[in-house]
């Protein structure tokens, strides 16, 4: 009996594998790529530690070219890294559906703005866009300044001391900002870094990466039976419990206090959640679950991404003292040596600092991988790619393309200088994606990063002895330095 079962299992596996080669059009076998193994495809290429993920993709691009076909399980994927290919996908209203991997986030984010598609995405995008209007974002500047002061106070305690890891400190700062602006909730992560919410976000991100690269974990039923599945449910329960509690508390608070009430003469701060509650029309437009999925999405997309870019920007400035000094000269000119908090008009004048932030995002895009599922046949790099193909877009590799950027691994903010603009393909730089699904929070992120980075540079000089090649990069949804970034600080006069 067991022999018969084994025999038919082998026949089934062989049939599934041969089907890949028989159905060449669906599996785009005319596009270069590694030969898939039965059932698991090319998953073994990605079975190493998470810091090997990006180098594996880099090697595939070198071996097979800018469009590479690879299989995860029985699912075919096409990885692309040219601006022309990016434009074909990101600019099209027919290619709006997120890739298959995003379904592994549904337990956490449900079908919010990041993961939804079709009419639901369109209605949510239309509903949420006004909440990111610049005039509304200006109200968040005070929160960002308050948190940047706390951050700099922490840095003062480390100045003139040994090298320390600045990444977790920036992560806690960004988390405090996003919690207060998104939910109106102070969690004091900078002063109490042992937050269960923080731990749950990081551990969930790792489990998501682990699952998306392991076809044997794709079945929801089977995943629930694994230890990883049990941990996943535990972390998601922690995240949802926190958000649900905040929504209920905020509802009660808004019922008991008028939105325009003042506290000691200061206007009450309005959070992203408050705007959602207002638009919910008492639950007729947005239910509690709808609001939770959008707040969770804003938290997921809006804190780790900014923390990562700020970390890499400060690291790049620490490695390039001349560029650091040029930023400080710009800030000295804007603030005249005062210690006043940054205002909206100040941020608009930080042109060179903005170029540094952009160049940092070029080298280290916070979201190094985007995926879409083709809604119709599309021609990419001379190949016809059928509908329902999973497209893996690689901003990390696009931004380091030597045919687009001279000395692509060099940190050179002048690439984004408004004085000496460089002509590039409009889809050669996409740190916030592009097209109809471009990141809705781009202005929010830029505002936060300018305030935090400018505060640090106004107070400190930075140095780092860590070599770029000694920083392993982990692509678990967000691009992170695996072991952090170590810097030393000295106070400025």
Q: Which residues are annotated as a binding site for heme?
A: 439
Q: Single out the residue of 346, 354, 368, 357 nearest to residue 314, CA to CA.
A: 357
DSSP state of 428: S
Contact 38, 17 (CB under 8 A): yes
Q: What span, in angstroms and rounded, lies between the C-alpha atoms of 333 and 317?
A: 19
Tally of CB atoms within 10 A around 10? 11
If one counts every other C-beta atom within 10 angstroms of the C-beta of residue 275, the result is 16
Longest dimension (CA), the chain: 85
- Alpha carbon distance, N-terminus to C-terminus of the chain: 82
| Helices 272-279, 167-183: crossing angle, 10 deg rounding | 30
Cβ count within 10 A of residue 325? 13
Q: Tokens 């090649």, residue?
A: 469
Give 487's strand partners.
164
User: What phi, psi does 79 have (nearest 5°)?
Assistant: -90, 130
Kindly list the strands in the beta sheet with 164-165, ordered across the sheet, starting from the edge strand earlier in the chain: 164-165, 486-491, 460-463
Instruction: Point out the annotated binding site.
Output: 439
Query: Residue 232 in contact with residue 107, Cβ under 8 Å?
Result: yes
Give how far Cα 230 sits from Cα of 214, 238, 396, 472, Å. 17, 13, 32, 29
Q: Which residue has the tokens 């922690």?
A: 238
CB contact at 8 A, 271 and 184: yes
Rounded to whole angstroms, the Cα distance separating 396 from 476 reads 13
């Amino acid at each position: 009996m067991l022999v018969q079962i084994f025999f038919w299992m082998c026949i089934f596996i062989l049939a599934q594998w041969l089907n890949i080669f028989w159905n060449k059009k669906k599996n785009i076998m005319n596009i270069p790529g590694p030969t898939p193994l039965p059932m698991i495809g090319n998953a073994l290429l990605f079975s190493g530690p998470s810091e090997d993920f990006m180098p594996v993709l880099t090697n595939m691009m070198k071996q097979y070219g800018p469009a590479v076909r690879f299989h995860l399980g029985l699912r075919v994927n096409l990885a692309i890294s040219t601006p022309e290919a990016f434009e074909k996908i990101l600019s099209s209203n027919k290619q709006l559906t997120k890739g298959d991997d995003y379904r592994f986030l549904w337990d956490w984010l449900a079908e919010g703005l990041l993961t939804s598609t079709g009419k639901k995405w369109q209605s949510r995008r239309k509903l949420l866009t006004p909440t990111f209007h610049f005039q509304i974002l200006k109200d968040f500047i005070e929160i960002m300044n308050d948190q940047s002061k706390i951050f700099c106070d922490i840095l003062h305690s480390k100045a003139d001391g040994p090298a320390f890891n600045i990444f977790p400190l920036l992560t806690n700062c960004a988390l405090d900002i996003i919690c207060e602006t998104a939910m109106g909730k102070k969690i004091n992560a900078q002063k109490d870094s042992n937050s269960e919410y923080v731990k749950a976000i990081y551990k969930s991100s790792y489990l998501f990466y682990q699952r998306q690269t392991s076809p044997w974990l794709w079945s929801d039923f089977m995943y629930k039976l694994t230890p990883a599945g049990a941990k996943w449910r535990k972390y998601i329960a922690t995240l949802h419990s926190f958000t649900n509690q905040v929504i209920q508390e905020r509802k009660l608070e808004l019922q008991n206090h008028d939105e325009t009430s003042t506290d000691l003469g200061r206007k009450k701060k309005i959070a992203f959640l408050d705007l959602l509650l207002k638009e919910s029309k008492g639950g007729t437009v947005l239910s509690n679950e709808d609001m939770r999925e959008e707040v969770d999405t804003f938290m997921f997309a809006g804190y780790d991404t900014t923390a990562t870019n700020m970390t890499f920007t400060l690291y790049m400035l620490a490695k390039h003292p001349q560029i650091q000094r040029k930023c400080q000269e710009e800030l000295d000119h804007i603030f005249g040596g005062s210690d006043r908090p940054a205002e909206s008009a100040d941020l608009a004048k930080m042109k060179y600092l903005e170029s540094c932030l952009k160049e940092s995002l070029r080298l280290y895009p916070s979201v190094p991988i985007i995926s879409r599922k083709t809604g119709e046949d599309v021609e990419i790099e001379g190949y016809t790619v059928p509908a329902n193909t999973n497209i893996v877009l690689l901003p990390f590799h696009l931004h380091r393309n030597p045919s687009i950027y001279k000395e692509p691994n060099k940190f050179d903010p002048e690439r984004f200088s408004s004085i000496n603009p460089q002509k590039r393909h409009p889809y050669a730089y996409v740190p916030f994606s592009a097209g109809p699904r471009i990141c809705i929070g781009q202005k929010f992120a830029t505002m936060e990063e300018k305030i935090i980075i400018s505060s640090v540079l106004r107070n400190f000089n930075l140095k780092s002895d860590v070599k770029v090649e000694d920083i392993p990069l982990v692509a678990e949804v967000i691009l992170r330095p695996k072991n952090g970034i170590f810097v030393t600080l000295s106070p400025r006069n």
